[in-house]
Amino acid sequence: MATPRNIEKMASIDAQLRLLAPRKVSDDDKLVEYDALLLDRFLDILQDLHGEDIRQTVQDCYELSAEYEGELKPEKLEELGNMLTGLDAGDSIVIAKSFSHMLNLANLAEEVQIAYRRRVKLLK
């Protein structure tokens, strides 16, 4: 005899992120916070699929690229280049795809923020 399954409705990712975003920040700032939460969740999934070493490498590359973008110090770019050229082919593909996904998530969060601002502006 087959046992009946309890199918629970899962809340949307947006609803889950709203619960995680601090209540003290403005709605507009929450959208920026969503970007960070999406990236954290992505890194958690990446770790589950490929291990902690890949997650750490992606995080290190992300931080180095952000430091280079902010400071424009050639040594940061060289450090990033050395890190990337030291990877084997399989890991470099995973890292490249991870960056692509992370940039897509950031773009999505930005588009949501722009749409939200437009909506607020129209309601005024």
- Pick from 45, 43, 14, 11: which is nearest to 31 by CA? 14
- Write down the residue that tokens 């490498």 correspond to: 57
How far apart (Å, rounded) are the C-alpha atoms in residues 71 and 80? 14
Residue 8 falls inside a structural domain: no
Residue 20 falls inside a structural domain: no
Residue 13 falls inside a structural domain: no
Residue 69 falls inside a structural domain: yes
pLDDT reported for residue 34 = 77
Residue 101 falls inside a structural domain: yes
* Over residues 88-105, mean pLDDT: 94
Q: How far is CA 110 from the centre of its chain?
A: 12
Residue 64 falls inside a structural domain: yes
pLDDT reported for residue 105 = 87
- Pick from 45, 41, 22, 42: which is nearest to 32 by CA? 22
Reported as a single tens digit per residue, the pLDDT across 16-55 is 555 555 555 566 666 667 778 888 899 999 999 999 999 9
Number of domains the chain contains: 1
* Over residues 60-82, mean pLDDT: 92
Q: Could you tell me the residue range of the domain that residue 89 belongs to?
A: 28-123
